[in-house]
């Protein structure tokens, strides 16, 4: 059998299905009851008890003081960066290996993405590589950290926790403090992931979560800004709700703002989903063990697993091809998908996309290498029999 055939057979053995998606939502809790309550009471739009409850529940789950729910993760990251002080012309450090929304949010703020390399042990931003890069290209001018090559201020660092695997945040926070650059975490994929006992998204000034339909917890579409900064949370709420001043009937808005509100219907779905988060994560961790067992004797491949000291949500199961069989990636993708097992490559590197090809970047050899070797496997929690 070829490697593609072997991988397909082993994946089918784990999923037990002839047709399986990459990641499907699971609605086996109180979703219908909560959404029906919204419809029955008429509270379906951007104000309602489930919006408030979802924010409280998210704050409790992540261990922060405040959560502000928004329409999607991209809008949440845009506002978070704006509140971190990103202005037009500033540069923002982001990983080259990330979903396009990370870069798009920077541009929506008027900033320019500045790309850095990846760490093989986390699939996220490489702190050692970033340390060397900042030391080589930056200088202090008028109290700011400036890229001497472009003359632009470096206004923020945005790590992204790839597929739910935490970046080395303690080291990154220490590095960012040395260069006096705020950190905003793109935790879109890492709800439930932790470093020790601390949740991702809580290390920097603020973090962003996503609840898109393919995430571990979904509201259909939605996101959240999480933070311990009460002033920032208040400002985030104001900016994402059209900057309307509270009043029983008057419509007074005190600045240009955004309609990034999450409807009560979506928040109701999120509350029901969040009640099942621990079960979803347990199922995904069990799925990891099943894949590991099924693939352990397959030469040329390895299943990516969490770093010591971290607890990943394993949002997407990740197969890494050895370098000497990397040229077979597309063959594996074609064979598995033809067999009904939906697999996907990692995103195209942001540095290769036409709108970002001219942005500042360090050399990214690790990201380039991983991009040709990563395959995401079917990862739905319900693939583990009996998941609730």
The percent of residues above 70 in pLDDT, for the chain, comes to: 99
What is the CA 3 to chain-centroid distance, rounded? Answer: 31
What is the CA 336 to chain-centroid distance, rounded? Answer: 25
- CATH number of the CATH domain containing 364: 3.90.1150.10
Residues 6+ apart with CB under 8 A from 282: none
> Which residue range(s) make up the domain with 180?
31-274
For 66-118, write each residue's pLDDT tens digit.
Answer: 999 999 999 999 999 999 999 999 999 999 999 999 999 999 999 999 999 99
Q: How far apart are CA 187 and CA 283, in angstroms?
A: 20
In this structure, the answer to whether residues 199 and 281 fall within a common structural domain is no
In this structure, the answer to whether residues 112 and 143 fall within a common structural domain is yes
pLDDT of the residue at 49: 96
In this structure, the answer to whether residues 82 and 147 fall within a common structural domain is yes
Q: How far apart are CA 309 and CA 314, in angstroms?
A: 15
In this structure, the answer to whether residues 101 and 215 fall within a common structural domain is yes
> Are β-strands 66-70 and 223-227 bridged in parallel, bridged antiparallel, or unpaired?
antiparallel
In this structure, the answer to whether residues 314 and 168 fall within a common structural domain is no
- What are the tokens at 54? 């979802």
pLDDT of the residue at 46: 86
Among 250, 274, 298, give the residue marking a domain's end: 274
In this structure, the answer to whether residues 22 and 39 fall within a common structural domain is no
In this structure, the answer to whether residues 50 and 16 fall within a common structural domain is no
Residue 386 in this model has a pLDDT that exceeds 90: no
Among 274, 299, 333, give the residue marking a domain's end: 274
In this structure, the answer to whether residues 333 and 260 fall within a common structural domain is no
In this structure, the answer to whether residues 57 and 197 fall within a common structural domain is yes
Reported pTM: 0.97
pLDDT of the residue at 387: 46
Among 232, 258, 274, give the residue marking a domain's end: 274
Residue 388: inside a domain: no
In this structure, the answer to whether residues 47 and 156 fall within a common structural domain is yes
In this structure, the answer to whether residues 36 and 82 fall within a common structural domain is yes
Residue 258: inside a domain: yes
Residue 224 parent element (H or E): strand 223-227
In this structure, the answer to whether residues 207 and 288 fall within a common structural domain is no
Q: How far apart are CA 206 and CA 199, in angstroms?
A: 12
Residue 49: inside a domain: yes
The number of domains in the chain is: 2
- What are the tokens at 103? 């870069």
């Amino acid at each position: 059998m070829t490697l593609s055939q072997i991988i397909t057979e082993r994946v089918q053995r784990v999923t037990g299905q002839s047709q399986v998606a990459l990641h499907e939502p699971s609605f086996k809790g109180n979703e219908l009851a909560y959404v029906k309550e919204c419809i029955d009471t008429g509270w379906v739009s951007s104000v309602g008890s489930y919006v408030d409850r979802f924010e409280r529940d998210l704050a409790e789950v992540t261990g922060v003081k405040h959560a502000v729910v928004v329409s999607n993760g991209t809008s949440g990251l845009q506002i978070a960066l704006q509140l971190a002080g990103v202005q037009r012309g500033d540069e923002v450090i982001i990983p080259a290996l990330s979903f396009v929304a990370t870069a798009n949010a920077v541009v929506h703020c008027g900033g320019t993405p500045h790309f850095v390399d990846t760490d093989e042990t986390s699939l996220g931003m490489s702190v050692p590589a970033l340390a060397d890069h900042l030391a080589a290209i930056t200088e202090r001018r008028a109290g700011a950290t400036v890229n001497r090559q472009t003359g632009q201020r470096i206004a923020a660092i945005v790590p992204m926790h790839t597929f739910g695997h935490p970046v080395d945040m303690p080291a990154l926070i220490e590095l960012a403090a040395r260069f006096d650059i705020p950190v905003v975490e793109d935790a879109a994929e890492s709800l439930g992931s932790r470093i020790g006992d601390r949740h991702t998204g809580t290390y920097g000034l603020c973090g962003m979560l996503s609840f898109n339909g393919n995430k571990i917890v979904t509201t259909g579409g939605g996101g959240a800004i999480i933070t311990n900064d009460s002033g920032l949370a208040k400002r985030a709420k104001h900016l994402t709700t059209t900057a309307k001043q509270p009043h029983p009937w008057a419509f007074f808005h005190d600045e240009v703002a955004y309609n990034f509100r999450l409807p009560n219907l979506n928040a109701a779905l999120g509350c029901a989903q969040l009640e099942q988060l621990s079960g979803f994560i347990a199922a995904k961790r069990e799925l990891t063990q099943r894949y590991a067992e099924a693939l352990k004797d397959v030469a040329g491949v390895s299943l990516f697993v969490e770093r010591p000291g971290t607890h990943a949500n394993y949002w997407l199961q990740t197969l890494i091809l050895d370098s000497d069989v990397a040229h077979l990636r597309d063959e594996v993708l074609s064979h598995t998908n033809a067999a009904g097992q939906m697999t996907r490559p990692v995103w195209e590197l942001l540095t290769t996309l036409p709108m970002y090809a001219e942005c500042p970047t360090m050399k990214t050899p690790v990201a380039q290498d991983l991009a040709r070797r990563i395959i995401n496997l079917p990862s739905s929690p319900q693939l583990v029999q009996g998941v609730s």
